[in-house]
Chains A and B, each alone.
Chain A
Amino acid sequence: MSSKAGRVRWGLAALLTLSAGALVAAETASGLTGLAEGTRQILGSTGLARFFADGGGKPLLMVCIGFELLYLGVAKQVEPLLMIPIGFGAVFANTPGAGMVQEGGFLRLVFDAGLQSEVLPILVFMGIGAMCDFAPLIANPRLALLGAAAQLGVFGTLIGVVLASDVLGLGFDIRHACAIAIIGAADGPTSIYLSTRYAPELMGPIAVAAYSYMAMVPLIQPPVMRALTTRAERRIRMPLNREVSGREKMLFPLVVLALCVLLLPSALPLLGSFCFGNFVRECGVAERLSNALQNEIMNTSTILLGLGVGMQMESSKFLAPVTLAILGLGLLAFVVGTAGGVLFAKVMNRCSPANPVNPLIGSAGVSAFPMAARVSHKMGQAEDRDNFLIFQAMGANLAGQIGSIVAAGVILALLG
């Protein structure tokens, strides 16, 4: 009986407290004069109302594109490690009233501290360096030239960008053009690094184009490779690589670093961090650091990089004709880069017929590691089941990684 009375007393006390709280809230809330006003305010703050009030439905479209990126990443396995953070970043950035891109917001913080400062692309390069085994390139150094030839994708597309700018009146200057053309390097962090410097407002479409086309390498490259090679060329067998010693693997990043320091210091932030990651891996006495670079640092950086890129997909920046132009030019860049690598392999065969190179591995000279190498190997096996090109293609692919950074470094040296 007494417990029932106690419960009633507690109930009355709670009711009184709630009523008092509601009265105080009503008095203190500015502009809230009644139930109708409060309801209108709540309804007005919903995403549904603000989507159409703020941007005429454009932010809603971008949220849908964010979900589309999630679909591509999860259902179609298109670079899921990046598409998922980019997709979420796009949703976060385009939700009105969330305040995540405003000064002090989470995404603004990530962008300013991570991308604007160039910290995240550099950390990603350390991770990539720690994940790469350069043995195929050390065993067959001349494959490095294929990595140079495939950079035609960057410089050839530069002409295309300027031409498109002239014809379509897009108003690009040389810096914008270079930031777009670097998509041809098929290297996400390099594209982001250069666009941060030269065209931060175009970073969203540039990064989306770079990562999307990298994932579409198995669709983009084979028709180009088939068109530029004969069946006999596709059946060329290459000898197996020699064994590479641990000492060579350890010296490799130091040699690249020395060349970068002496010849191209502008590429040092990217190439130097790449060499650092690779040296940590190969030196054999810093396994903990190597593991941290390959796992924790790489994963954290990738997540933040993706969210930062997604933030750049605000509707006001992304939904513009220039985005379509960038997507078109990005495709051109991949095609030209592939063609450059394949054609240069044929030139190498003319110059050195005794030591032929299968032109299919030329296409792996575009970065897109290791997808491009796998495509070369698969195409070789489609012509001759006993032809194993994977190691040589990996060599060209690793050279493409270095070549793409060198291309960016040269652009930085030329344009500042």
Chain B
Amino acid sequence: MCLMASVLWSQTWLVVSLGMASVFCFLLVLVIALRVMSFFATPAAQAGGKAGGE
């Protein structure tokens, strides 16, 4: 019983730490990808470096 509980807790910490890190990494890569996409897809961004009021 105690062993099962400790296995459950170790799995939980694994999912929590890896899960949060993975979600952040994925969305960080998405931020970078969107910036690259906007740079190539918006002529104003290519000309002026930064487009809009961000």
Task: Name A's B-contacting residues (CB within 8 A).
Answer: 137-142, 144-145, 147-149, 151-152, 154-156, 158-159, 162, 165-166, 172-174, 177-178, 239-243, 245, 247-248, 251-252, 255-256, 258-259, 263-264, 355, 399, 402-403, 406-407, 410-411, 413-415
Contact = CB atoms under 8 A, between A and B. Distances in A.
A237 to B, nearest CB: 12
Contacts of B53: 239-242
Contacts of B41: 245, 247-248, 251
Interface string B22-54: 111011111101110110011000000001111
A155 B33 contact: no
A177 B11 CA distance: 11
B37 A241 contact: no
A57 B17 CA distance: 45
Nearest to B16: A155
A140 B33 CA distance: 12
A151 B34 contact: no
A339 to B, nearest CB: 14
Nearest to B52: A242
Tell me which of B19, B28, B33 has the highest count of chain A C-beta atoms within 10 A of its own C-beta.
B19
Interface of B: 5, 8-9, 11-12, 14-16, 18-20, 22-24, 26-31, 33-35, 37-38, 41-42, 51-54
B27 A243 contact: no
A410 B15 CA distance: 9
Contacts of B22: 264, 406, 410, 413
Contacts of B33: 255, 258-259
Nearest to B51: A242
Nearest to A173: B8
16 contacts: A139-B54, A145-B28, A148-B23, A155-B16, A158-B15, A162-B8, A162-B12, A166-B5, A174-B11, A255-B30, A263-B26, A403-B27, A406-B22, A410-B18, A413-B22, A414-B18
A411 B5 contact: no
A411 B31 contact: no
Contact of A264 (B9, B26, B31): B26
A115 B42 CA distance: 42
B34 to A, nearest CB: 4
A415 B22 CA distance: 14
Contact of B19 (A139, A240, A245, A411): A411
A241 B52 contact: yes
Given A155-B20, A402-B27, A138 B15 contact: no
A174 B8 contact: yes
B48 to A, nearest CB: 11
Contacts of A403: 23, 27
Nearest to B26: A406
A415 B29 contact: no
A140 B5 CA distance: 44
Contacts of B8: 162, 165, 172-174, 177
B11 to A, nearest CB: 4
A390 to B, nearest CB: 16
B23 A141 contact: no
Given A264-B26, A414-B14, A252 B37 contact: yes
Nearest to A147: B27
A242 B54 contact: yes
A29 B41 CA distance: 76
Contacts of A245: 41-42
Contacts of A154: 19
